[in-house]
Amino acid sequence: MATRRDFVKTLAAGTAAAYVGGRSWSDLLAQTGAPKRREVFIGRKRVKVIDSHHHLNIADVARVVKGTPFERQAVTTGDGIIGPERIAWMDRDGIDVAMLTQQGAFWYAVQDRGLATEIVKAQNEGTAAVVGKYPDRFLGMASMPLQFPDLAAQALEDGIKRLGFKGGGISAGWAGAKNLSDPEYDVFWSKAQELGAFLFMHPGGTNGNGDPHFAGKGALGNTIGNPLETTIFFSRLIYEGTLDKFPGLKICGAHGGGYLPSYLGRTDAQCRRQDDVCTAKKRPVEDYFHTQLMADIMVFREEGLRHLVAELGVGQLVYGTDIPFGWPVTPDFILNAKSLNDAQKEAILGGNLIKLLKLSPATTA
């Protein structure tokens, strides 16, 4: 399997965009002080903005991977390390609470169970410490060693029960032989269902991936690779019957859930013309997206958002920014959407997650 090193490289390149007017957040803070915290209102109502798609790195991972082949994967500096700069960013954009998922997924390539466990433990305890330091602003999400389904289940349970996390972040990949719809992952899905975990799926296995087809112009490993990985992941969970086996699962796909929610027609059209290839799936494709599968709103343009809402329903969509990467998705993207009414805007910006995760409607975590 190709290492995930390319992913980190791609992300590093992406961080350039996080600079503000040519200056980094830390420079900006030093020179002009912290920005005033933006409070988002719809009409006269202050609404809570929750960012479901928000990354971090934990520097302590470097200690764990030191002297291993994964030594260079640890990220100890830069915008992924959460500090006052991140709070300033959230304040400027009007994000009240962010759900923290670990950046990348390099540890999926670790073959040693002990090392994998230690990496994830460092990440999760580091995340818990960030949440402890800024309890009003963050919610934790577990990272897990998905190459070992039983350990992944344990890490998710530990994160939720001991560290107070709301769920976990997962990647899928597609180039390797393993698929998260394989029965060996039932132990993981079963645990996630039992815990009522919110799973945030973020691609990361396909970026570059050593495939020359994704080299070249347009950052295709990201532009195409990311939505592709999510599309294959969701398609497999649907076609292989995983979502029918575990009907309590709630999985949110990053970047508008990849291609599938924006291009739903082909999935069931295939079952209608060739039902022998759809032997495990029990429901129409829309049904999975109206109940178990969710998506963030990272489609950037109103027409794309309108289409997502039409296909999935407002209740399945959550606000997400991909911070610390500089994608153009401030809350104004939702606030200015002409096709949404006020209640729908509030639901997407935070209401849906408040309900799903039983969060306080107060504008703190």
Tracing tokens 């960030």 back to the chain, one arrives at 130
Q: Is 24 in the site for another protein (CB under 8 A)?
A: no
- In one-letter notation, the amino acid at residue 339 is S
Nearest distance in Å: CB 183, another protein: 13
Size of the site for another protein (CB under 8 A): 70
Q: Give dist(CA 244, CA 100) in Å, integer.
A: 28
Q: Is 231 in the site for another protein (CB under 8 A)?
A: yes
Answer for the pair 128, 77: CB distance below 8 angstroms, yes or no.
Answer: no
Nearer to another protein, 171 or 181 (CB): 181
Q: Give dist(CA 57, CA 78) in Å, integer.
A: 9
* 242-271 binders of another protein (CB under 8 A): 255-256, 258-259, 262-267, 269-271
Answer for the pair 96, 350: CB distance below 8 angstroms, yes or no.
Answer: yes
Q: Applying CB under 8 A, which of residues 101, 222, 292, 352 lies at the interface with another protein?
A: 222
Nearest distance in Å: CB 14, another protein: 6
Please name which of 37, 45, 1 lies closest in space to residue 346, comparing C-alpha atoms: 45
* Interacting span for another protein (CB under 8 A) from 60-68, 82-90, 107-115, 207-215: 207-215
Q: Applying CB under 8 A, which of residues 93, 157, 311, 346 lies at the interface with another protein?
A: 311
* Interacting span for another protein (CB under 8 A) from 62-70, 138-146, 153-161, 177-185: 177-185
Nearer to another protein, 21 or 276 (CB): 276
* 75-134 binders of another protein (CB under 8 A): none
Q: Applying CB under 8 A, which of residues 44, 272, 338, 358 lies at the interface with another protein?
A: 272
Indicate the SS3 state at residue 227: helix
Q: Applying CB under 8 A, which of residues 24, 179, 291, 363 lies at the interface with another protein?
A: 179
- In one-letter notation, the amino acid at residue 342 is D
Q: Is 228 in the site for another protein (CB under 8 A)?
A: yes
Nearest distance in Å: CB 180, another protein: 12
343 exposure class (CB count in 10 Å sphere: 0-12, 13-18, 19+)? exposed
Which parts of the chain fold into alpha helices (H)?
5-15, 25-32, 61-65, 84-93, 113-133, 149-161, 186-195, 220-223, 225-239, 242-245, 254-257, 265-273, 285-291, 302-312, 332-335, 342-346, 352-356
Answer for the pair 70, 118: CB distance below 8 angstroms, yes or no.
Answer: no
Joined together, the tokens standing for residue 104 give 């990348």
* 328-347 binders of another protein (CB under 8 A): 328
Residue ranges that bind another protein, judged by CB under 8 A? 10, 13-17, 174-177, 179, 181, 211, 213-214, 216-220, 222-224, 226-228, 231-232, 235-236, 238-241, 255-256, 258-259, 262-267, 269-281, 299-301, 303-304, 306-307, 310-311, 325-328
